[in-house]
Amino acid sequence: MEQRVSTVTPRGICFDLDGTLVDSLPDIIDSFLHGFTHHGLPAPSVAEVRALIGQPLEAMYTRFAPEHATTLCVAYREHYPLNFHRRSRPFPGVERVLRTLRERGYLLAVATTKRGDMARRFVDAMGLGGLLHHVQGTDGFPHKPAPDVIHHALKALGTGGLWMVGDTTLDLRAGQAAGLKTYAVTWGTHAHEELATATPDELQPDLERLLHHLPPLV
Ligand SMILES: [Mg+2]
């Protein structure tokens, strides 16, 4: 990555999407399990699926049915775009936190393992599109915990990064690899104990504490 000149104040904040900004896990799990039912295959439990959320779709299906992973991915990609908004909604206070950070002068991006086209549709459907400066999907480069998606997001924002906010250890390790401070939120995929193993700078039940770290820039 090209280094920004030191006189430019970094003001980029990166957020994971599913389980961090949006409570989307029920719709994702429904679509994930749909493929098994549709093809008459034995389905894993919700808990087994939940434990893998945050990994790429192909990797998740390979864990349960390696010989059917490609077929199941196709089924998911047909089902999810038609059903992704049924139960999903932003977590409490997310819009206000994002709006406040924008007003304070920060640049905000999503950095998700979702594909870019689906991530943008999802952000807009949840009413968050106008609050984010950029939505970065993972298209054709290594997924988290590799830092690539964060590097792409910050490049699009045109600034250095300050914090990576996420609900899994994958998010935290990606943020650390990109040289950002990391903020873990416990309302998503991974429990407090698991998130603690990645030693985030903050480990919180919601996003409120982020505002304490990020005062107005001007
Ligand atoms: Mg997540």
For the chain, 218 residues long, the average pLDDT of each consecutive 10-residue run is: 60 97 94 96 94 90 97 96 93 98 97 95 96 97 97 97 97 98 96 97 97 94
Same domain, 95 and 159: yes
The angle subtended at Cα 15 by Cα 14 and Cα 18, nearest 5°, is 155
| Residue 4 belongs to some domain of the structure | no
Q: State the distance from the centre of ligand 1 to the C-alpha of 22, rounded, in angstroms.
A: 9
Residue 57: CATH number of its domain: 1.10.150.240
Same domain, 104 and 31: no
Q: State the distance from the centre of ligand 1 to the C-alpha of 36, rounded, in angstroms.
A: 23
Same domain, 99 and 61: no
Same domain, 58 and 111: no
Q: State the distance from the centre of ligand 1 to the C-alpha of 17, rounded, in angstroms.
A: 6
Integer CA distances (angstroms), 55 to 3, 98, 158, 168, 209, in order: 29, 25, 27, 10, 27
Q: State the distance from the centre of ligand 1 to the C-alpha of 5, rounded, in angstroms.
A: 31
Q: State the distance from the centre of ligand 1 to the C-alpha of 157, rounded, in angstroms.
A: 21
Q: Judge if the upstream peptide bond of residue 145 is cis by omega within 30 degrees of 0.
A: yes
| Residue 109 belongs to some domain of the structure | yes
First to last CA, the chain: 27
Domain ends where: 34, 60, 83?
A: 83
Distance (Å, whole) CA 136 – CA 48: 27
The total of structural domains in the chain comes to: 2
Q: State the distance from the centre of ligand 1 to the C-alpha of 39, rounded, in angstroms.
A: 27
Q: What pLDDT digit, counting tens, does each position of 175-186 carry?
A: 999 999 999 999
Same domain, 51 and 154: no
Q: What pLDDT digit, counting tens, does each position of 21-64 carry?
A: 999 999 999 999 999 999 999 999 999 999 898 889 999 999 99
pTM of the predicted model as reported, rounded to 2 decimal places = 0.89
Distance (Å, whole) CA 19 – CA 9: 29
Same domain, 176 and 207: yes
Same domain, 167 and 67: no
Q: State the distance from the centre of ligand 1 to the C-alpha of 65, rounded, in angstroms.
A: 23
| Residue 218 belongs to some domain of the structure | no
Same domain, 98 and 61: no
Q: State the distance from the centre of ligand 1 to the C-alpha of 2, rounded, in angstroms.
A: 27
Hey, what amino acid is at 147? Answer: P
Same domain, 36 and 117: no
Q: Name the residue range of residue 64's domain.
A: 25-83
